Amino acid sequence: MAETHRTKMLILGSGPAGLSAAIYGARAGLEPIVVQGLQPGGQLTITTDVENYPGFRDVIQGPWLMEEMQAQAEKVGTRFIFDTIVDVDFSKRPFRMTGDGGDIYEGDTLVIATGAQAKWLGLPGEEELSGKGVSACATCDGFFYRGKKVAVIGGGNTAVEEALYMTNHSDDVTLIHRRDSLRAEKILQDRLFANPKISVLWNSNVERFVGGGDPHGLIGLDLVDTQTGDKSHLTVDGAFVAIGHAPATEIFKDHLDLVDGGYIQVEPGTPKTKIPGLFACGDVMDHVYRQAVTAAGTGCMAALDAERFLAEQEFELIAAESSGGAQRFQ
C-alpha cells in the first residue's frame, strides 16, 4: 500500500552531495529523508582507489567512503528510502514527488543531488577494464599514471582539458579524435598544440580496449582510421574516456531551468534554483569541477540555505500572525 512520507528537508540522491546535505540537515533538526535511486552512493560506489579526499593518508575505496558517509548521516537522524522517482510537482510547497511504487514524498524544502554520469563509449573491454587502466576522470585517477603512457579519447573541451591535465603526470599523452578538427574552444586548442608532451591522432576511432598482463589491466587500444579503414594498435597504460557527462535531470526538464547540456541552473556561488526552497548541489549543477569534495561542499551549502529558508518562512508566519492579532485589538 502506498504511503506518504513528509519531512522538512527532502533529499533526492545519495552521493557525497546528498549525504553531506543530510548530515547538516539532520544536525539542524530538520529530520531529512533521503530518497536513494538506482545507484545509492553515487559515482564513488563504482570508484576503486580514492586518493584525493581530505583526511585519509592512505588510499581508500570509494564504496567504503560512501558507506561511512551514509552511516554518519543515519547516526545523526537521517532516514533513507530506496525508490525511483517518476513524477515531481514543484508548483507549490510542500514540494511533492511520486515514486514508481506510488509512494508520495513531500518536503518543505527539497535538495536535488542526483549527480551526473560519465558518458562511455560502450566498446569491448571498456567496462571490464574500468578502474584497471580505463577511466572517465583524469583529475581523479591521473596520479596513478605517473610516468606512464596514456591516451585521452574525445575532441571537446573535456577531452582537451583532460589531456592538458595529464601532462602533469605523463610525458607521453595521446589525444584520439574521430574527426580532423577539435570542437574545443580555441584557447584550449592553442594550449594543446603548444604542449610538446601531447600528440594527436586524427580521424581515429577506438574499436577495443585491450587487456593483458599480470595483474590484468589495460595494455593498449585497437584503432581504426575513419577515412581509410586501416587498423592499428596503440600501446598505453591508461586511457581516459572524455566525451562528456550526462546529468540526471530528465525528470526536471519541464520544472527547472537547465543549462550546458542539462545541468540545473543555480544562482552563481549558491545552490539556489529559481524556485525558493528548492536547491541543487553536486554534479547535477556543477559541470566544471565534478569532484567528490566539491560535491560535498555544495551539499553542505544546500542544507545551510534550506535551514535559513525555513527559519525565514517561520519568522514571516509569526510576524503575520502577530500583525493580524494586533489589528484585531485596535
Q: Which domains does the chain have, with CATH numbers?
A: 4-117+245-325 (3.50.50.60), 134-241 (3.50.50.60)
**Residue 212, C-alpha cell as written in the block:** 593483458
Three-state DSSP class for residue 77:
coil
> Which residue in the list 108, 141, 286, 305 is annotated as catalytic?
141
pLDDT at 68 over 80: yes
> Which residue in the list 87, 89, 103, 140 is annotated as catalytic?
140
Q: Is 141 a catalytic residue?
A: yes
Supply the mean pLDDT for the chain: 94
Q: Is 140 a catalytic residue?
A: yes
Q: Is residue 278 within 8 Å of 127, Cβ to Cβ?
A: no
DSSP 16-51: HHHHHHHHHHHHTT---EEEE-SSTTGGGGG--EE-
For the segment 271-321, what is each residue's pLDDT rounded down to a tens digit?
A: 999 999 999 999 999 988 889 999 999 999 999 999 999 999 999 888 888
pLDDT of 244 reads: 85
> Which residue in the list 83, 108, 137, 237 is annotated as catalytic?
137
Q: Is 137 a catalytic residue?
A: yes
pLDDT of 330 reads: 56
For the segment 211-221, what is each residue's pLDDT rounded down to a tens digit?
A: 999 999 999 99
pLDDT at 176 over 80: yes
pLDDT of 44 reads: 84
pTM for this predicted structure: 0.80
Q: Is residue 18 within 8 Å of 113, Cβ to Cβ?
A: yes
pLDDT at 328 over 60: no
